[in-house]
Amino acid sequence: MEFGVFDHVDRSGIPLQQFFEERIQIIQTYERFGFYSYHVAEHHFTPLGMAASPGIFLASVAQRTKTLRFGPLVYILPFYHPLRLAEEVCMLDQLSGGRLELGIGRGISPVEAGYYGEPTDFQVSRQTFAETWQIMKDSFSKKRVNVEGQYRQARDVPIELETVQKPHPPLWMGVSSLENAEQAARGGMNFVAIQRPAEMRARVDRYKETARQSGELDPKIRMGMNSFIVVGDTDAEAQKLADRAYKVWHHSFHYLYHLHGRSPVHGERADNFPDVVDRELGIAGSPETVLDVLSQRMEQSGSNYLMCQLVFGDMTLAESLHSIGLFASKVMPGLRQSALARQREMA
């Protein structure tokens, strides 16, 4: 079992220069505590996402860390020229010594797409995504690229940059449906889902079934369940912090949608942290409470990768580091032991 971090890099209220520097310090802490990878969201024109250019932010991460893997979750491919983005991916993989994890997707916000002048029609964005990825994929493996799509073209383009990892960095996608799980399996992609444990189990099972039908299941594939996590010295302390910070995150998450008088694509999120806990999408408590709850949820989900949303809203640097430290020192070891025990039982 491995642990990753998901981060919206949502605005906390402090000056942006200080905000970015503190976020990098937090990411360095993830590295010291042995997290596998740091995954950053891409959002635009909203306090939900201050890493609007993930590549620039992750270039700083590459230079301030040594072993931590990192990547976008996801690059919104319809927003990019495929050749430009492919060059950026190569540079990030080279600058980090081959530590890039490459998340790709179509994006989830029609409001953000509209600001960029991109079509919000599902079929168009799906085709744009496919053509963008085809050009990128060819540029990772060929010296000349020729793709003539309806929305994206590359005509006899010479390629000079290359990735460290071959044929390209490991791929990730967000999975919301069983069909998405099948798509990820056919592409040999790692995936993460924001789902209740039982719903996550259905996606894990569908992924495994599809992968075996297509060939075989790669044992290195990571199937991640996302969870808000806040750890305190006591349940009350952790819950108080989570309640306060989540309200700020919730406002940021809904900001653009409510500005345009509409709801998020997958519906409104719970407006308070106790409801997040009840929906099994997060937990706040002492190390003992968090370990007990997450052990049960991970077993039920069948996941082998816990995607931890540890810093959000207006959590301060000190609050963030304290919660992360408790999770890493007192919860992670117990979750690993539980996972090993389940593997022995199944052997």
pLDDT at 276: 98
Reading the block at residue 102, the tokens are 């490459």
AA letter at 33 = F
Q: Is the pLDDT of residue 287 over 70?
A: yes
DSSP state letter for 328: I
AA letter at 63 = Q
pLDDT at 263: 87
* Region class of 330: left (phi > 0), else alpha (psi between -120 and 50), else beta: alpha
Torsion of CA 333, 272, 199, 103, to 10 degrees: -70
H or E element that contains 183: helix 178-186
pLDDT at 247: 98
Q: Is the pLDDT of residue 244 over 70?
A: yes
Contact 279, 197 (CB under 8 A): no
Span 172-225, pLDDT tens digits: 999 999 999 999 999 999 999 999 999 999 999 999 999 999 888 899 999 999
Mean pLDDT rounded to a whole number for the chain: 95
Q: Is the pLDDT of residue 347 over 70?
A: no
First vs last Cα of the chain: how many Å apart? 16
Cα distances (Å, whole numbers) of residue 220 to 152, 163, 191, 258, 335: 33, 20, 12, 40, 19
pLDDT at 336: 95
H or E element that contains 148: strand 144-148
pTM over 0.85: yes
Cα distances (Å, whole numbers) of residue 178 to 185, 191, 204: 11, 12, 9
Cα separation, 311 vs 25, whole angstroms: 12
AA letter at 25 = Q
Span 112-143, pLDDT tens digits: 999 988 877 777 888 999 999 999 999 999 99
Q: Is the pLDDT of residue 40 over 70?
A: yes
